[in-house]
Chains A and B, each alone.
Chain A
Amino acid sequence: MKQLTSRQAGILIFFSVIALKAVVLPAIIFFLAGAGGYITIIFSLIFDFGLLLIYLWVMKNNPDKTFPQILEDAFGKTFSKIVCAIVFVYFMLKTFLIMKSVFNFFTKAVYDNMDWVYYIISTVFFLFFAINKPLRAFGRTAEVIFWIIFISINVILIITSFTMDLTTLLPLFPNGSVPIVDTGIKSAFGFGDYTILLFFMGNIKWEANTSKKIIIYAITAIGTIINFYIVFLCNFGYSVVNQNLAIADLSLYLDLSVTVSRLEWIAVFAWTMTLIIQMIMYAYCAKESLNQILPKKIQKISPFVVLLICGGVYLIISISIQVLLGFIFSYPVSIAAMIVQVLLPLLLAIAVIIKKRKENKYVSYTAKTTI
């Protein structure tokens, strides 16, 4: 039974694009690229969008097959399992990063003291409950909260757009194109938002306008993020590198914070639901990829494994987010991430082409033999 409608898939894609990019990524990108960081974002998002088109093409040609099945048909079972193992590691890292980001966000923004042990316990319990639900539950949840989040993020952007200084965007390429390209490579791990489509394959009710809907949601998300980065830069100017929690700090620029305190944070909290949905999605994807590797009899343990790794690593290695970000935005990890993000859709596309050729050969062979 198909679990997701095209609208739900589109909304999950929307959340995937905006989730991490409005927290800690802006400060890092502007630190690395300078004031031209928004150009990095634009190029990276466009590049990612190209990968989305490849995914959609693959899904259109195989609406009923999951990605391991597609790989298996073309390259065999062993290859498919190896890819699943790589995908598992990738999503585990992403889950860990987002867990740390959520904790960092809440601790820095709204809590004076947030006990990280309690955070881990409650998060792990919640994740365990959530990742055992079918994909349909996330799709429907995303549908329910979509408008809350869309309106809240746009309210924040609109009220802060009045204090923008658009000349901050100029000049284009202030330090040349090298820092921009360099930042694009280093921040690769913060992108690759469409890799969750791997686990939507075979689960979407594919209609004639499914691709169109997903593209519209993706473009809306891209537009929102670009708008966010521009508003962010134009409000804070070059001191933007000081704002570790972009979305929470964005409304700081209003004088209203002096008289009404940070009441607009209620809108920010609505937005943080995307982070948590994204955390669930990544953990779910990690669990599903582990399921592909493990034999059917012991697949029940995969949620436990995923959460043990996340919770356990968190508890044992209580590294600071700066160290984690330093690791994740280093060249080796970034290049590895880029390889995974780019190669996967290409592999799938190649698999589809190989399969098609095989089928064509079979058809022409059977046609020949019948004649």
Chain B
Amino acid sequence: MQYSKTKNMKCLLGKYENNINLIKEHFDKREDLIIREIKSGNYNFAIVYLIGLTDTENIGRLVISPILQYKDFTSNKILKTLKESVLAFSEIDEESDFDNICKEILSGKAIVIAHNCKSALILQADKHKERAIAEPPTNAVIKGPRNGFVENLKTNLTSIKNILRTKDLKTINLTVGKYTQTSIAILYIKGIAEQKIVKEIKKRIEAIDIDGVIDSFYISQFLENYKYSIFKQVGSSEKPDIVCAKMLEGRVAIVIDGSPIVLTLPFILLEDLQSSNDYYNDRTNVSFVRILRLISLLITILLPGMYIAIELHHYKTIPLKYLITIINTTQGLPLTPFLEMVFVLILFEILYEASLRMPRYLGQAMSIVGALILGDTAVKAGIVSPPSVMIVALSSITIYVIPDQAPQFSITRILFLLAGAMQGFYGIILGFLFLIIYFNDFDSYGAPYLAPLTPYIKNDMKDFLFKSNLTSMKTRPMSFKNKNRIRQR
């Protein structure tokens, strides 16, 4: 079989049987491919679709039945007649490129091949079973919207468009993945988002040549500036209100079909210290909570290292009464302080991983067992000491005050533990400065990673630790590039 080639595209041929044979050849006896051939008068029609992906009820009711009933087809206006007078679909496209036609079949659309036509009609008859919109488990709020994204691109776009009802909301549609043909939508608000950032993101996504994209995380790795850094460089959210708020500040959103997590760029570390709750609550309370989060972050990364530094190198700094408690409780342990700490940390990490993978009906019982084994029994058995269990437990709890960066800070605290063990407070100070210098050399699409703390941006400090009233936040953040700075008059 040969394809006619016009404009470097593989096209449908003029003959009906050849077209059918083309499709059969391309799909290579695929079992779920249905070619429903019908005849109306002297004209042949074929409806091609995949079982499971297409709404067959609508095919029968809205395609086959109307075609069979219509008797006034003319040979030179078949497609036009079908579009305008016969088929009752709200969206019908015409396509002559054979590859595109096959893509549409694979994405669940129904194709109508008409008698001796060189183009085919594409009907939006795809049917995707998806879960209901619910509150995402990682972003629970007390006040504020609770709907989250789902795995369907269109539904997610609808959720965003429900909030941003403006003609300036622009979408760039792309497809990535040789075998998954995953649809990706880049959304931004024209007049607010910086065009250079949009172009850069589009360029990077178009350059992706990969077998398949299953989740948004695949795309985020291509969008990162620093490939080998463990720290997050692309923002993400499961909630439409958060994404829309970020877009209103000038960020660009990337929605990926099949993933409930929407990516946003540029990203700064401050984003993970904030929560959507902060914008739906009183500012005094919010300021207090943000300070707590920062303290929690410091506790998470520094506490185990400082404890081990004190035990191994700096007992001089502890007051006598606490020193007595530590000495009395650490007597006779089989492990050295460093090994003991590593042991408890690993146990907690195992507990965390196990709780993620555990079946739900076992979860509660096993978590109690895990906590008891670690907390009580291990101490009583003299394997570990109470202070180290307490330190690691506290550090492990505070890590989830910033859940999005939990794995990263988990690794960081191990590094600080090593630094504290090897060099004491000097090592911790070096490690802390190392981390800060490292962050300060980072940027995400022109946005400094630690903005607005450094470089100091006075305007953005209103939403840093001490949150100001919404009425006083009249300009958009200056931590990253955006246009049209005024957002409130």
Contact = CB atoms under 8 A, between A and B. Distances in A.
- Do A and B pair up? The answer is yes
Interface in B446-471: 448, 450, 453-456
A262 B430 contact: no
A75 interface: no
Interface residues of B, number: 29
A30 interface: no
B173 interface: no
B208 interface: no
A141 B424 contact: no
A152 to B, nearest CB: 12
Contacts of A262: 316-317
Interface stretch (B127-135, B161-169, B398-406, B431-439): B431-439
A47 interface: no
A134 B434 contact: no
Given A140-B448, A141-B437, A261 B455 contact: no
Contacts of B437: 129-130, 133, 137-138, 141
Nearest to B320: A261
A138 B316 CA distance: 32
A200 to B, nearest CB: 15
A5 interface: yes
A356 to B, nearest CB: 32
A311 to B, nearest CB: 15
B22 interface: no
Contact of B317 (A110, A114, A118, A144): A110
A273 B317 contact: no
B93 to A, nearest CB: 48
Contacts of A5: 455-456
Interface in A145-184: 145
A251 to B, nearest CB: 12
Contact of A7 (B424, B427, B456): B456
A269 B436 contact: no
B433 A277 contact: yes
Nearest to A7: B456
Nearest to A261: B319
A102 B429 CA distance: 12
A266 B424 CA distance: 13
Contacts of B318: 261, 263
B319 A263 contact: yes
B440 interface: yes
A272 B423 CA distance: 15
Nearest to B428: A269
A260 interface: yes
Given A111-B314, A129-B434, A261-B317, A118 B422 contact: yes
Counting contact residues on chain A (CB < 8 A from B), the size range is 35 or more
Contacts of A261: 316-320, 323
Contact of A144 (B424, B425, B427, B436): B436
B456 A143 contact: yes
Contacts of B433: 126, 130, 141, 145, 273, 276-277
A110 B423 contact: no
Contacts of A118: 422-423
Contacts of A144: 436, 440, 450, 453-454
A143 B454 contact: yes
Contacts of B441: 133-134, 136-137
Nearest to B323: A261
A6 B86 CA distance: 72
B480 to A, nearest CB: 15
B455 A122 contact: no
Contact of A273 (B319, B423, B429): B429
A269 B429 contact: yes
A249 B363 CA distance: 54
A353 B313 CA distance: 56
A119 B440 contact: no
A260 B318 CA distance: 7
Contacts of B429: 269, 272-273, 276
Contacts of A289: none
Contacts of A110: 313-314, 316-317, 424-425
Nearest to A264: B317
A111 B316 CA distance: 8
Contact of A259 (B317, B319, B440): B319
B434 A143 contact: no
A126 B314 contact: no
B68 to A, nearest CB: 70
A203 interface: no
Contacts of A206: none
Contacts of B425: 106, 110, 269
A57 interface: no
B426 interface: yes
Interface in B307-347: 313-314, 316-320, 323
A242 B455 CA distance: 42
B316 A140 contact: no
A310 to B, nearest CB: 15
B440 A137 contact: yes
A49 interface: no
Interface in B172-214: none
Interface in A270-314: 272-273, 276-277
Contacts of A95: none
Contacts of A123: 430
A144 B455 CA distance: 9
Interface string A95-106: 000000010001
B398 to A, nearest CB: 19
Contacts of B320: 259, 261
Contacts of A111: 313-314, 424, 426
Which of A122, A133, A141, A276 has the most chain B CB within a 10 Å cutoff?
A: A141
A279 B454 CA distance: 21
A253 interface: no
A211 to B, nearest CB: 18
Given A137-B440, A261-B316, A106 B426 contact: yes
A118 B432 CA distance: 18
B305 to A, nearest CB: 13
A34 to B, nearest CB: 32
A252 to B, nearest CB: 12
Interface of B: 313-314, 316-320, 323, 422-427, 429-430, 432-434, 436-437, 440-441, 448, 450, 453-456
27 contacts: A7-B455, A8-B454, A106-B425, A114-B424, A118-B422, A119-B423, A119-B426, A122-B427, A123-B430, A126-B433, A133-B437, A137-B437, A137-B440, A137-B441, A139-B454, A139-B455, A140-B455, A141-B454, A143-B455, A144-B440, A144-B453, A145-B433, A260-B319, A261-B317, A261-B318, A265-B317, A273-B429
Smallest CB-CB A-B distances: 7 pairs: A140-B440, A140-B454, A143-B454, A137-B440, A261-B319, A137-B441, A260-B319
Given A110-B313, A126-B433, A140-B455, 5 more contacts: A8-B454, A122-B427, A141-B433, A259-B320, A276-B433
